[in-house]
Copies of this chain bind each other. A is one copy, B any other.
Amino acid sequence: MLSEHEIQIRVRYSETDAMGFLHHANYFVYFEEGRTELLRAQGGNYREMEEQGLFMVVVSLECKYRKPARYDDVLSLRTRVVRITLAKIEHAYQITRGGELLTEARSILACVDGSGAVQRLPAIFHPTQ
């Protein structure tokens, strides 16, 4: 199974802050887009998953900021599955610009139903399917 995917994201003006850089909170928006597109590349679809009553909620995040990004920069975001358990999935992220590493991050998400009860991750996430 495909467990890694890369997308290009251009930094929007509204995503910058008064320091002139991409604001640190907005990286998590990019990582979320990375997960959406990795799942799509695997043949899954997160919107349909939600329509069927399953939600992926963020349990924990960590991020290291090495160099800043600026408005109009084209960034490469590599999203990778690093661990899967029955109900949780861990991703690693790398953002680079022209080959230079800007940011590294990790997240753990859990699968829950509409009431917040933990659910088994759908088969599409599992490497053995």
Which residues of A are in contact with B by a Cβ distance under 8 Å?
A: 12-14, 16-21, 23-26, 28-29, 32-33, 36, 45-47, 50, 55, 57-65, 68, 70-72, 116
Cα A59 to Cα B68 with chains together (Å) = 10
A60 touches B57 (CB 8 A): no
A24 touches B17 (CB 8 A): no
Contacts of A14 in B (CB 8 A): 17, 23, 25, 28-29, 32
A57 touches B68 (CB 8 A): yes
15 of the cross-chain contacts (CB-CB < 8 Å) are: A14-B23, A14-B25, A14-B28, A14-B29, A17-B17, A18-B18, A18-B50, A21-B57, A46-B72, A47-B71, A47-B72, A57-B65, A59-B64, A61-B63, A62-B62
Cα A57 to Cα B12 with chains together (Å) = 15
B12 touches A32 (CB 8 A): yes
